[in-house]
Amino acid sequence: MSDVPAPFAPALTFAFEIRARLAPTLHVGHGDGEKTEFTPIVGGTVDGPMLRGIVLPGGGDWSNTRGRVCELDARYLLRADDGAVIDVVNRGYYHEGADGSDQYDGDLQVTTAGVYYRTSPAFRTDAPAHRWLAETVFVGLAREAAEDVVAIRMYALA
């Protein structure tokens, strides 16, 4: 029998889902082997067991694609149901051709086989009821929910 402790695996807990409505993407420019674009965020919803509210219009997502990998850098605001404003900086990657199968959270398909679409959000607010957002590490699983909507399921890392 070994005295080596079992490896620790961090746990993820579903916190909420952001459904951001998007305006058409604007082409910014391109360089040698890359393309830069900006996609305005014009609204949306936040719904889940730990946070409810809306996505405020006026934010956006800067994307830079090199080869098959798209690097994402989004910044936008949420308004919680209690009126608190929350700043979101959400960075991540999108690319097709990834290994893996469809993944589900219960009955909801949260990822598609062959697509890597992950984010690492950070939140800022001085609202006492939502301070936990700024003190927690999150992982976002993103997917296209409609032609003009991106859904990002936010999981808190324990």
CB 130 within 8 A of CB 51: yes
Q: How many alpha carbons fall within 13 Å on the CB side of residue 49? A: 5
Give me the number of domains the chain comprises. 1
**Would 55 be classed as within a structural domain?**
yes
135 assigned to some structural domain:
yes
Is 6 a member of any domain? no
**Between residues 1 and 63, the one the model is more confident about:** 63
pTM attached to this predicted model: 0.90
In a domain, 2, yes or no: no
Inter-residue contact 138 to 155 (CB < 8 Å): yes
Residue 150's domain comprises 18-157
CA pair distance 109, 20, nearest whole angstrom: 18
Q: Does the pLDDT at position 155 exceed 80?
A: yes
- Residues 86-120: pLDDT tens digits? 999 999 999 998 787 888 888 887 778 888 999 99
The residue-averaged pLDDT of 67-72 equals: 94
CATH for 73: 2.40.160.20
Assess contact for 79 and 46: CB atoms under 8 A.
no
> CA quadruple 93, 43, 130, 17: dihedral positive or negative?
negative
Q: What is the mean pLDDT of residues 39-61?
A: 98
Residue 5, pLDDT > 90, answer no
